């Protein structure tokens, strides 16, 4: 990703690590220490060519985001973060529209990642 040193890439902006996942985080395999989220993001690599962000449901406490990345030694490290998504009706409607547009592109033969990127690009171009 082309981001200035010390900044957080856009998919990770606004992530808040839950209180139980305090830094410094230490890799259990190589003992590499990460001082904060920025350090963790800059010195780990994405898993499976993805952002590593996964929405998870926990009965009783609701939705949270799991951020999984690989340490430079290859060990997968996960951070539990607060869900950033708005649960308002407008937000749910926007997600439905996004999914509809992605679905249309998928039906036209566009792969999922490219379809999502294209819809995001179009929507960002529309935003004043």
Report the SS3 class of residue 119. helix
Backbone angles phi, psi at 95, to 5 degrees: -65, -40
What is the average pLDDT across 42-56?
81
40 versus 13: which is more confidently predicted? 40
Structure tokens at 105: 């592109």
User: With contact defined as beta carbons under 8 Å apart, do 102 and 112 qualify?
Assistant: yes
Q: What is the pLDDT of residues 53-80, one digit of tens each?
A: 777 777 776 677 888 999 999 999 988 8
pTM of structure: 0.59
Q: Given this model, what pLDDT does residue 128 score?
A: 55
Question: Mean pLDDT for the chain?
Answer: 81
CA nearest neighbour of 14 among 83, 77, 66, 80: 83
CA nearest neighbour of 7 among 50, 49, 36, 34: 36
Q: Given this model, what pLDDT does residue 4 score?
A: 53
Residue 31 pLDDT > 90: yes
Residue 13 pLDDT > 70: yes
Q: Given this model, what pLDDT does residue 3 score?
A: 46
What is the average pLDDT across 8-26?
72
């Amino acid at each position: 990703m082309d981001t200035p040193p010390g900044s957080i890439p856009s998919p990770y902006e606004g992530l808040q690590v839950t209180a139980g996942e305090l830094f410094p985080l230490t890799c259990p395999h190589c003992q590499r220490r990460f001082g904060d989220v920025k350090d963790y993001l800059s010195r780990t690599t994405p898993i499976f060519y993805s952002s590593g962000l996964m929405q998870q449901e926990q009965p009783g406490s609701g939705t949270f985001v799991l951020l999984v990345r690989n340490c430079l030694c290859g060990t997968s490290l996960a951070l539990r973060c607060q869900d950033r998504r708005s649960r308002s009706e407008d937000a749910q409607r926007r997600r439905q529209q996004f999914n509809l547009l992605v679905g249309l592109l998928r039906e036209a033969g566009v792969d999922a990642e490219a379809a999502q990127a294209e819809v995001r690009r179009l929507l960002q171009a529309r935003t004043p």
